[in-house]
Amino acid sequence: MAIVNTNAAYPPPHHVLRDLAMQVQSTSTVNRAWLPVTEHVCNERGRVLTGIVATMVDAICGGLAAAIAAPGWIATADLSLHVAHPLIADRELSAAARVRRAGRTTVILESEIFADDDVDTPLAYCTASFSVLQRRESNPILVAGGSDAEPRHAFVGESSEFQTNAYEACGFRYLNDGVVEVNPSEYILNSLGGIQGGVLASLVDAATVNTLGNDFETVDLHLVYVALAKVGPIVAVPTVLQCTPNNGAVSVELRDAGVPRCTTVATSIGARW
Amino acid sequence: MHNGCDLDWCALVSVERVTSYSAEDGRSVGRFLGLSMREVTQPNGPVKLEAQSRVQSAVLDQHGFVHAGALFTMCDCVGGFCGGLGALPDGWVVTTNLMIRTAPTVVASPLVLNSAVLRRGKTSVVTSINVVDAVGAFVAAGTLTSAILVPSDGIAQWDRPARLDMPSEVGGIHFDDWLGISIRDGAVSIELTDELRNPWGIMHGGATSALVDRGAVEAVTHTTGVRERLRTNHVVLHFLAPAKIGPVRASGRVLGTRPDGYLVEVEVFDEGSDNRLVALAVATVAVV
């Protein structure tokens, strides 16, 4: 089964999904992706940003969920990412998404993330739930078909690459007290007109590190998407629940200051490896 | 039948609820924990609930902390009841997704649990849960997502603001013993007794979360040999299908070791239903 987007309008030419430069390969049961690891998707210690991994798995899990939900469309309801080993790769990260449950209103998937050619030891594990929605005109059209042996191909057609740090490219602004905010722009919107679920996960990642300190890395992310983040600015406000010298638990609320309303509630764990 | 509900859960409702259960059944779990819940919703505000649970030795672990599984169970009860009130008058709820972070601390009794509806959709409700002890110290926090279903025998009516008092019926039995957990080859199992069923007649979400807690700890012990001072401090749990028959078994796989503990994937199976996968979880087990 190939999952092909036949809607040329999304994503637009300058979009975070193109800059990720992912390649994908779909079979009837698994959606795989490969993410090139460059300095722009890594932190200062050379580890891939946890939010970028979340964006990758949100995209491939969403692609598989949408193919299953067709002719309906889907929206991410919740996403959890758990890092088992430091997110280090020489060349690329790969991810494989599988369906664990497909109901009429919800599709639940899991994904494992690997470094380079090692497919035995997952660096991270992800689960995600998608709500099944009625199709809108703007939604991509994902066509399922073809053979199981399709080659790797670009996720969104014409790819580009980050020219700067990925979070900077998304427009994240770092404020006092760990707060991070971003304005919605075409670059980071999904096909429903809200900020991409993976970018919101990245915002939570950024707020976690901003509040615990740059020597922490986010090792757990759990987001529940409550409403679309559309107007902005979208403000990630962290509250530290617990902190020890080596790890900290943070509650992060994402507020759409332009409405105003809560768009996402999240819990994250930061750790010093 | 409710148009928006998932097939698996709907089939369950039309069978179990009619044949075996009344509205008063399915509260044994809440009674064991001695939960007292009252609605504190403000006019025009989201549904809110405040609950208390007296901390008894039956729910303490070997470190003197509140048993993680018991804490998960309390959160499921309180968040679920809050979500159920939020679902009225269109239906009642079953938990589909639970995330809880706990603190390994000695607490001052009673525990105070606050829950609020964050989102009420057509087919689901999302609630927050925050748990502090009697002096306001952080104990746990999380979110719970529930599916809205319509029972075939009608939706329970509640006087509002709602109140539900379930005096403790512990009787000196420890939580683990009450659940009836058995361990073999690194996996844990329980028989699905009537006491462990919820008002829908299926395995209570809290009991499932407690089984996940033990399954995660046992997976660490089985894999690493570490036995002492293990405690689950974080869980994300997806309920995939109802556990109806039992025995129900949880088996875990250690994914890695981090500064905050062991990361464990746990799968839960209903052995009596052709070994069907009923829940999927990821937990962090810390050495405290």
The gap between the terminal CA atoms of chain A, to the nearest Å, is 39
Residues of B in contact with A113 (CB under 8 A): none
Is residue A95 within 8 Å of A61, Cβ to Cβ?
A: no
pLDDT at residue number A70: 84
DSSP bridge partners of B230:
B287
pLDDT of residue B178 exceeding 80, the answer is yes
Q: Does A8 touch chain B (CB under 8 A)?
A: no
Closest partner residue to A220 (CB to CB) among B121, B124, B234 is B234
pLDDT at residue number B7: 41
**Domains in chain A: how many in total?**
1
Å between A273 CA and nearest CA of chain B: 6
User: Using 50, 70 and 90 to split pLDDT, how confident is the model at B3?
Assistant: very low
* Interface confidence: ipTM more than 0.85: yes
User: Using 50, 70 and 90 to split pLDDT, how confident is the model at A243?
Assistant: very high
Is residue A6 within 8 Å of A141, Cβ to Cβ?
A: yes
The DSSP secondary-structure symbol of A93 reads E
- Return the HEC string of chain B: CCCCCCHHHHHHHHHHHHHHCCCCCCCHHHHHHCEEEEECCCCCCCCEEEEEECCCHHHECCCCCECHHHHHHHHHHHHHHHHHHHHCCCCEEEEEEEEEEECCCCCCCCEEEEEEEEEECCCEEEEEEEEECCCCCEEEEEEEEEEEECCCCCCCCCCCCCEEECCCCCCCCCHHHHHCCEEECCEEEECCCHHHECCCCCECHHHHHHHHHHHHHHHHHHHHCCCCCEEEEEEEEEECCCCCCCCEEEEEEEEEEECCEEEEEEEEEEHHHCCEEEEEEEEEEEEC
Range of the domain at A78: 2-271
CA B92 distance to own-chain centroid: 16
Q: Is residue B1 part of a domain?
A: no
Nearest chain A alpha carbon to B120: A226
pLDDT at residue number A149: 57
Nearest chain B alpha carbon to A128: B238
Nearest chain B alpha carbon to A85: B256
Residues B217-253 pLDDT 10s: 999 999 999 988 999 999 999 999 999 999 999 999 9
Residues 140-199 of A with CB under 8 A from B: none
Residues A180-209 pLDDT 10s: 999 999 999 998 899 999 999 999 999 999
pLDDT of residue B13 exceeding 50, the answer is no
pTM score above 0.95: no
pLDDT of residue A269 exceeding 90, the answer is yes
Å between A240 CA and nearest CA of chain B: 11
pLDDT at residue number A144: 57
| CATH number for position A50 | 2.40.160.210
Q: Is residue B254 part of a domain?
A: yes
Residues 116-135 of A with CB under 8 A from B: 122, 125, 127, 129, 131
Distances, alpha carbon B172 to alpha carbons A31, A177, B30, B182, B201, in Å:
51, 47, 16, 19, 26
**Domains in chain B: how many in total?**
1
Residues of A in contact with B238 (CB under 8 A): 100-101, 108, 127, 129
Q: Does A10 touch chain B (CB under 8 A)?
A: no
Q: Is residue B152 part of a domain?
A: yes
CB contact under 8 A, A127 and B280: yes
Cβ-Cβ contacts under 8 Å between A and B: the total is 122
The DSSP secondary-structure symbol of A149 reads T
For residue A154, the SS3 value is strand
Residues of A in contact with B259 (CB under 8 A): 219, 246-247, 271-273
Rounded Cα–Cα distance for residues B211 and B248 (Å): 9
Residues of B in contact with A80 (CB under 8 A): 99, 236, 282
Å between B237 CA and nearest CA of chain A: 9
Type of residue at B213: D
Å between A173 CA and nearest CA of chain B: 26
Rounded Cα–Cα distance for residues A216 and B287 (Å): 20
Percentage of residues in chain A with pLDDT exceeding 70?
Answer: 93
Residues listed for chain B: 288
User: Using 50, 70 and 90 to split pLDDT, how confident is the model at B62?
Assistant: confident
Residues of A in contact with B103 (CB under 8 A): 241-242, 249
CB contact under 8 A, A242 and B138: yes
Query: Is the four-CA dihedral B49, B55, B56, B58 of positive or negative sign?
Result: positive
Residues of B in contact with A77 (CB under 8 A): 97, 124, 145
Q: Chain B interface, mutation test: which of A76, A120, A222, most B Cβ atoms within 10 Å?
A: A222
Residues A29-65 pLDDT 10s: 889 999 999 999 999 999 999 999 999 999 999 989 9
Rounded Cα–Cα distance for residues A130 and B139 (Å): 30
Residues A90-127 pLDDT 10s: 999 999 999 999 988 899 999 999 999 898 999 999 99
Rounded Cα–Cα distance for residues A121 and A138 (Å): 38
| CATH number for position B283 | 2.40.160.210
Å between B5 CA and nearest CA of chain A: 7
The Cα diameter of chain A in Å comes to 52
Range of the domain at B244: 7-287
